[in-house]
Amino acid sequence: MSRTLPAIPRVAGVFVTGTDTDVGKTVIAAGLTATLRAAGVKAVYFKAVQSCCPEEDGRLIATDARLAQTMAGLDEPLSLLTPVTLKLPLAPAVAAAQVGVAVDLEVIAQAYRELAGRYDFLVVEGAGGLYVPLVDNTFLVLDLACWLNLPVLVVARPGLGTINHTVMTVKSVAQAGLPVVGIILNQYPERPNLAARTNPEIIEAISGRPILAKVPVIADLTGEAGRTALISALRQVLATPAWQEIMQGKGKRQEG
């Protein structure tokens, strides 16, 4: 990445990325925001850009932010929680180019600055995996994480294939100079097969980062029972030493 970036404040927070699309980053980011708020932390959810947004009354709706809004009891408008919305189900840079626009980093920075001034902790969700392009092919999700300078939380699947995807994601973050808080295995089955049972230990050994939680399959995340189950599963994350370092402000890249 070689570009002049808008100025943003350095804040406490975490950047939630995934090994791929549809691994449940939104559920984990929204649930983590709700869990932090239930624990008394003045936390807010933020997703810079979302593709595949449905249209309602002539407006594109950030459905991921809407889930976080509902789950965490946030009063902020969707346009602030996700300042850039795109209609096509493509990588943001591609979806934007198809309609003749570009993702505006200043718009993202303005929303980020506003939320940073109101909240003590930001839970930031990426878009897809780390190498998804946000602006042309020169500014990726990984560049966004580096710009925000937040420690990274990796969300992964529990089953076959996740060792490679998870370790590669962790190594990419580390190579970029950002700390990796740990890994959450999402939709962990009640009766895991051999791959799901053995993967956690192998991922920890190869990546050098801890599995912070195994979040179970939750049938209905829109109801109170589902929300309670998710918060219960994520409370263990807040109790881990790796997370405590974040809350103490130690989980950031040192610059200069």
Q: pLDDT value at position 22?
A: 86
Question: What number of H helices and E strands is found in the chain?
Answer: 10, 12
Residue 151: which pLDDT band, with cuts at 50, 70 and 90?
Answer: very high
Cα–Cα distance measured from residue 184 to residue 216, given in angstroms and rounded to the nearest whole number? 11
Per-residue pLDDT reduced to its tens digit, 197-209: 999 999 999 999 9
- On the CB side of 134, CA atoms within 13 Å amount to 24
Residue 193: which pLDDT band, with cuts at 50, 70 and 90?
Answer: very high
DSSP states of 102-133: ---HHHHHHHHHHHHHH-SEEEEE-SSSTT-E
* Side chain identity, residue 184: I
14 has which bridge partners? Answer: 123
Question: Which of helix, strand or coil describes residue 231?
Answer: helix
Q: pLDDT value at position 255?
A: 43
Q: Is the pLDDT of residue 122 over 80?
A: yes
Looking at per-residue confidence, does 249 or 41 come out higher?
41
Q: pLDDT value at position 2?
A: 60
Instruction: Give the mean model confidence (pLDDT) for residues 147-165.
Output: 96
Active site residues: 47
Per-residue pLDDT reduced to its tens digit, 62-118: 999 999 999 999 999 999 999 999 999 999 999 999 999 999 999 999 999 999 999
Residue 30 phi, psi dihedral angles, 5° rounding:
-65, -45
Cα–Cα distance measured from residue 253 to residue 50, given in angstroms and rounded to the nearest whole number? 26
Q: Is the pLDDT of residue 173 over 80?
A: yes
Q: Which domains does the chain have, with CATH numbers?
A: 13-245 (3.40.50.300)
Shortest CA distance to 149 belongs to which of 39, 42, 256? 256
Average model confidence (pLDDT) for the chain? 94
